[in-house]
């Protein structure tokens, strides 16, 4: 960036330092297109070719920022930026404050300021000698450039060229006028015919307007009549929809009642099945308890009989023991009465003594056997008494379970009665459902659905369906007599 403020700015340096490049940059950004004037062969030579430490560039760009606070440039900017960019492909672009412009527009803008590539604003080396040796015509051009009239003369030249073009165009128009004059009369006749045709067309439009008016009036009357019919039909639709809503409500209520009854029937059937299973189990348990009770009673009776027999046998054994005790005592007394000397002649007979001893021994053995039998009988009696007690303890739960089984039997009977009542209610609800279904009769011969008869215009299908509601599925009858059931509020359709 190089700043050129007020006053004189000098750039000094040795040969080859680039002083001339700055002047060439000024000329290039102002629109110079001759590479020779920029000390080069082609325009691409202004792009940096690279060096040992930096690569070559793909484009070159110079921006010139001018102070325009005095308004010398005819633009509404206090600062004007002129920029030019060239790429290696050869394309060159010009920009004015960032906007792309043509080179011609840029040169025309700078012509009134004297800031051009061939003006006195940029004086190259050797140009002073050329000015001194210039001809009067060349000096006049320099003076015009200094007086800033060069741009005006250029504009005047352009205006003169445009006026010459206009004069040529006027000559061509005059030739065309002379050429078209013979055709003017024919065109006038055609214009008269066109005016007559236009008048006829106007009358035709008036007649068409009258016809359209009559048609519109007839259509309006028909529309009014249709509006009246529409209101009547809407009232009938509302009445029919109300009837359909009532029938639908009744049908839904009946179906709800039927479903509830079916649910109750299923619940009662399940309850009845459970009760029947419990009743069967209770009956089986009752039968088993009865059989067991009968067996226990038989066992108790047999044990009591055996106990009585044992009591008799015990009494007989006790009597026998007493008898044997007596005989043993008598035998012992007889033995004591026998003398110590068995050889004494005056003593009793030895055979009798032996018999008495044998009888005593026999009585002793029988007494021992009787005592053993008595002990066995007592043991058996105690066992039987314990058995009777156990059997009585078993009989008591069986007897106590009999009322519970009877209660279950009665509950089962009550459940069966409830199931029968539920079945009767189900039959009643089925009959009620059939009556509700009769409200929605089947179609008669040749009858059709309302939705099939009505053919609404395109776009009104949803509105008509919303108005009809459930009546879309109703059946259409020719009159009230043809209806399958009596109709309280008949809907009569107009003849088509």
If DSSP states are collapsed to H, E and C, what string results for 289-307?
HHHHHHHHHHHHHHHHHHH
Same domain, 364 and 481: no
The domain boundary, picked from 439, 457, 476, lies at: 439
Q: Indicate whether this model's pTM tops 0.75.
A: no
d(C-alpha 283, C-alpha 104), whole Å: 124
Same domain, 255 and 365: yes
d(C-alpha 94, C-alpha 101), whole Å: 6
| Domain range for 466 | 441-496
Residue 1 lies in a domain: no
d(C-alpha 464, C-alpha 457), whole Å: 10
Same domain, 94 and 34: yes
Same domain, 283 and 351: yes
Contact indicator for 68, 75 with CB cutoff of 8 Å: yes
Q: Is 4 helix (H, G, I), strand (E, B) or coil?
A: coil
pLDDT (tens place) for every residue of the chain, 496 residues total? 788 877 788 888 888 788 888 888 888 888 887 767 677 777 777 887 888 888 888 888 999 888 888 888 888 888 989 999 988 877 889 999 989 999 888 888 887 676 777 666 777 766 677 777 878 887 787 777 666 666 677 777 878 888 988 988 898 888 888 887 777 777 888 888 899 999 998 888 888 888 989 889 898 898 888 888 888 888 888 888 888 888 788 888 878 888 887 888 788 778 777 777 876 776 676 677 667 767 766 776 776 776 677 677 767 767 766 776 776 677 667 667 655 444 444 444 566 666 766 766 776 676 666 667 667 766 766 776 777 677 667 656 655 655 665 666 666 666 666 656 666 766 676 666 566 555 555 566 666 666 677 677 776 666 666 666 656 666 666 665 665 554 444 444 444 4
CA-angle at 80, arms to 75 and 84, nearest 5°: 115
Domain count, the chain: 3
Same domain, 433 and 445: no
For the chain, the C-alpha Rg in angstroms (whole number) is: 73
Residue 451 lies in a domain: yes
Residue with tokens 């050329």: 130
Same domain, 413 and 265: yes
Same domain, 62 and 112: yes
Same domain, 466 and 416: no
- Alpha-carbon distances, residue 57 vs 38, 54, 417 (angstroms): 19, 9, 111
How far apart, in Å, do the first and last CA atoms of the chain sit?
Answer: 94
Same domain, 369 and 314: yes
Phi and psi at residue 85, in whole multiples of 5°? -135, 135
Smallest Cα–Cα separation from 69: which of 80, 59, 81, 61? 80
Residue with tokens 């226990």: 296
Residue 203 lies in a domain: no
Same domain, 446 and 431: no
The residues that bridge with 388 in the sheet, in sequence order, are none
Residue 459 lies in a domain: yes
Residue 80 lies in a domain: yes
CA neighbours within 13 Å on the CB side: how many for 9?
8
**DSSP structure string for 310-371:** HHHHHHHHHHHHHHHHHHHHHHHHHHHHS-S-TT-TTS--HHHHHHHHHHHHHHHHHHHHHH
Same domain, 417 and 451: no
d(C-alpha 420, C-alpha 39), whole Å: 125
Tell me the CATH number at 30. 3.40.50.300
- Residues 6 or more apart whose CB falls under 8 angstroms from that of 333 comprise none
Residue 186 lies in a domain: no
The domain boundary, picked from 117, 149, 170, lies at: 117
The domain boundary, picked from 412, 439, 466, lies at: 439
Residue 228 lies in a domain: no
Residue 157 lies in a domain: no
**Strands 99-101 and 448-449, how do they pair?**
unpaired
d(C-alpha 259, C-alpha 252), whole Å: 10
Same domain, 61 and 85: yes
């Amino acid at each position: 960036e190089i700043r050129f403020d007020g006053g004189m700015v000098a750039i000094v340096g040795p040969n080859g330092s680039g002083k001339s490049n700055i002047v060439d940059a000024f000329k290039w950004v102002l629109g110079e297109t001759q590479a020779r004037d920029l000390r080069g062969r082609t325009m691409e030579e202004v792009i940096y070719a690279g060096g040992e430490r930096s690569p070559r560039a793909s484009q070159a760009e110079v921006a010139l920022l001018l102070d325009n606070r005095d308004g010398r440039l005819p633009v509404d900017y206090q600062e004007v930026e002129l920029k030019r960019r060239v790429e290696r492909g050869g394309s060159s672009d010009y920009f004015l404050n960032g906007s792309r412009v043509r080179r011609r527009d840029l040169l025309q803008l700078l012509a009134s300021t004297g800031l051009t590539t061939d003006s006195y604003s940029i004086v190259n080396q050797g140009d002073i000698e050329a000015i001194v040796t210039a001809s009067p015509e060349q000096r006049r051009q320099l003076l015009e450039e200094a007086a800033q009239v060069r741009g005006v003369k250029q504009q005047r030249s352009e205006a003169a060229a445009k006026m010459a073009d206009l004069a040529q165009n006027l000559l061509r128009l005059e030739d065309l006028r002379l050429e078209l004059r013979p055709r003017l009369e024919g065109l006038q006749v055609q214009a008269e015919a066109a005016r007559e045709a236009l008048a006829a067309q106007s009358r035709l439009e008036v007649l068409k307007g009258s016809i359209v008016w009559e048609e519109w009036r007839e259509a309006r009357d028909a529309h009014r009549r249709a509006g009246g019919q529409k209101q009547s039909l809407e009232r009938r639709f509302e009445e029919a929809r109300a009837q359909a809503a009532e029938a639908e409500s009744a049908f839904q209520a009946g179906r709800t009642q039927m479903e509830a009854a079916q649910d109750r029937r299923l619940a009662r059937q399940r309850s009845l099945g459970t009760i029947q299973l419990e009743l069967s189990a209770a009956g089986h348990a009752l039968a088993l308890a009865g059989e067991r009770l009968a067996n226990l009673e038989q066992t108790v009776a047999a044990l009591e009989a055996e106990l009585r027999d044992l009591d008799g046998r015990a009494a007989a054994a006790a009597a026998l023991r007493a008898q044997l005790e007596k005989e043993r005592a008598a035998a012992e007394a007889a033995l004591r009465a026998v003398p110590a000397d068995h050889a004494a002649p005056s003593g009793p007979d030895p055979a009798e003594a032996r018999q008495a001893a044998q009888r005593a021994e026999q009585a002793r053995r029988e007494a021992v056997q009787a005592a053993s039998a008595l002990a066995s009988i007592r043991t058996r009696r105690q066992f039987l008494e314990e058995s009777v007690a156990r059997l009585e303890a078993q009989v008591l739960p069986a007897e106590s379970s009999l009322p519970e089984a009877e209660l279950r039997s009665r509950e089962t009977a009550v459940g069966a009665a409830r199931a029968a009542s539920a079945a009767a209610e189900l039959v009643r609800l089925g009959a009620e459902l059939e009556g509700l279904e009769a409200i929605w009769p089947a179609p008669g011969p040749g009858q059709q659905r309302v939705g099939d008869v009505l053919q609404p215009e395109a776009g009104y299908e949803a509105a008509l369906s919303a108005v009809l509601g459930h009546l879309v599925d109703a059946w259409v009858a020719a009159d009230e007599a043809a209806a399958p059931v009596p109709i309280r509020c008949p809907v009569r359709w107009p003849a088509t």
